[in-house]
Amino acid sequence: MSVTAVKAIRASFFDFSATAQEAEAIADCARYIEDGLLIIEAGRVVSLQPWKEGCGNADVIDLRGKLIVPGFVDTHIHYPQTEMIGAFGEQLLEWLNQYTFPVESQYHCPQHAAQMSAFFLHQLLSNGTTTALVFGTVHPQSVDALFGAAEALNMRLIAGKVMMDRNAPDYLTETPETSYQQTRELIERWHNRGRLSYALTPRFAPTSSPALLEKVQQLRTAFPDTWLHTHLSENPQEIAWVKSLFPEQEGYLDVYHHYQLTGRRSVFAHCVHLEDKEWDCLHDTQSSIAFCPTSNLFLGSGLFNLQRCWQKGVKMGIGTDVGAGTTFNLLQTLGEAYKVCQLQQYKLSACEAFYHATLGGAHALDLDNAIGNFNPGKEADFVVLDPAVSPLQQLRISNSKDIWEKLFVLMTLGDDRNIAQTWVNGQPVWQREEKERAA
Ligand code: GUN
Ligand code: ZN
């Protein structure tokens, strides 16, 4: 199939036509078309309409029985941690020292980085994720490998080289000057190349000296349309450590804010233990949060307060945070988000959950003009979901009364078996084999 050819797909469709400022408004933007026709051309959506007899020709791709939703958006993930997912026993700071840093050291090797990049992107696509905001390692070659592999697939991806100059092993630290120079070269090589974008990626405040943060600030001033991607307020020991390392700042977020690293394209992972004034600062600067439920549970970090996030008007997307997170799959991640909310008496509806995984995530990444729904002109990234792939799912779906209940069953019982196909830029890039589903 050529990239420019018109394609027409018949199936059920679900998306959100506009972003929402409050949880209650999401359902008003939801659009479910039980029997619809999606037309795409040159990698973009031309139209999505209810099916009418005679409106399609013989070339319509018939996916009746499947549910098509916009590609999932993962707002926080570490590709080099793929190989240490599910590491036993430790909370954040010990987990970093014991498992994470040794694994990340391997990415000085371009061959290893290329092999793992291919594996990582395959994991994203086979789980229906078409866009992600990704941490590399401190090695520029880690990011060259990832961007090269994503470019070959024409994926919309944002990534960056980790910047860190203290409180980590010597084999992973650099000087502020080297960090600046290598990051600058990567930006010049990759930022705005096709569908790729660059994120300045200081790991977190404890591994950043004031001199390094000044360099990040200089880069942001020089390249104001780059993203900023880091961690914030994940774990109580981490927060106490930041306060002791930066006593002159009022709190954790102030460290980043002082260096003007907050803002519309700034994405802060976790934000589990924010103080009131930190919520206000995130709102006032239009910064975004990546809520990473499986990671927060796995590392015992705490419960993200989604209700407070809405009250404070802070943009939020869902992150898997692999390898502290325990799955690449956004359906499973939404199921865990539901449980995190249950523990705080907040009911995360399927409607709201799918919003966060699609258009809401795109909004949090400031990409909602390009991706996130089937509005005309949007880039045609989408997932073909098989709503029931096991006897239990078939039983439960067969007694679901409406689309909301079906979506809730998908986020409660669903996993990678439910991802039938993944399309990127109007092209099918991944398709589940029947035998894979049976496995
Ligand atoms: N904080 C600093 N680095 C990391 C990391 O790699 N994973 C998580 N979850 N938190 C971090
Ligand atoms: Zn992380």
Say yes or no: CB of residue 295 within 6 Å of ligand 1: yes
pLDDT at 2 over 70: no
- Residue 164: per-residue pLDDT: 98
pLDDT at 168 over 60: yes
pLDDT at 365 over 60: yes
Query: Which residue among 82, 92, 164 has the greatest number of ligand 1 atoms within 8 angstroms of its CB, and so is best to mutate?
Result: 92
Say yes or no: CB of residue 203 within 6 Å of ligand 1: yes
pLDDT at 435 over 70: no
pLDDT at 55 over 80: no
Q: What is the per-residue pLDDT across 67-93, written as a single tens digit (0 to 9) for each?
A: 999 999 999 999 999 999 999 999 999
Percent of the chain clearing pLDDT 90 (strictly above): 96
- Residue 5: per-residue pLDDT: 85
Secondary element (H or E) of residue 268: strand 266-270
pLDDT at 109 over 70: yes
Say yes or no: CB of residue 96 within 6 Å of ligand 1: yes
Rg (CA), the chain: 21
Instruction: In whole angstroms, give the CA distance from residue 412 to residue 419.
Output: 15
- The number of residues making up the chain comes to 439
Secondary element (H or E) of residue 231: strand 227-232
| Helices 330-342, 350-357: crossing angle, 10 deg rounding | 130
- Residue 359: per-residue pLDDT: 98
Nearest to 317 by CA among 277, 279, 352, 284: 352
366 C-alpha to ligand 2 centroid (Å): 19
Q: What is the per-residue pLDDT across 231-274, written as a single tens digit (0 to 9) for each?
A: 999 999 999 999 999 999 999 999 999 999 999 999 999 999 99
Say yes or no: CB of residue 238 within 6 Å of ligand 1: no
Tokens standing for residue 326? 């325990």
- Residue 295: per-residue pLDDT: 99
- Residue 205: per-residue pLDDT: 99
- CA nearest ligand 1 atom 8, residue: 324
pLDDT at 1 over 60: no
Average of per-residue pLDDT values in the chain: 97
Say yes or no: CB of residue 365 within 6 Å of ligand 1: no
Binned at pLDDT 50, 70 and 90, residue 4 comes out as low
438 C-alpha to ligand 2 centroid (Å): 32
Say yes or no: CB of residue 103 within 6 Å of ligand 1: no
pLDDT at 439 over 80: no
Query: Sign of dihedral through CA atoms 79, 331, 69, 127?
Result: positive
392 C-alpha to ligand 2 centroid (Å): 33
- Which residue has tokens 């027409």? 8
Average pLDDT over residues 379-386: 98
Cβ within 8 Å of residue 322, ≥6 positions away: 77, 78, 81, 82, 85, 328
Q: What is the per-residue pLDDT across 135-165, written as a single tens digit (0 to 9) for each?
A: 999 999 999 999 999 999 999 999 999 999 9
Say yes or no: CB of residue 381 within 6 Å of ligand 1: no
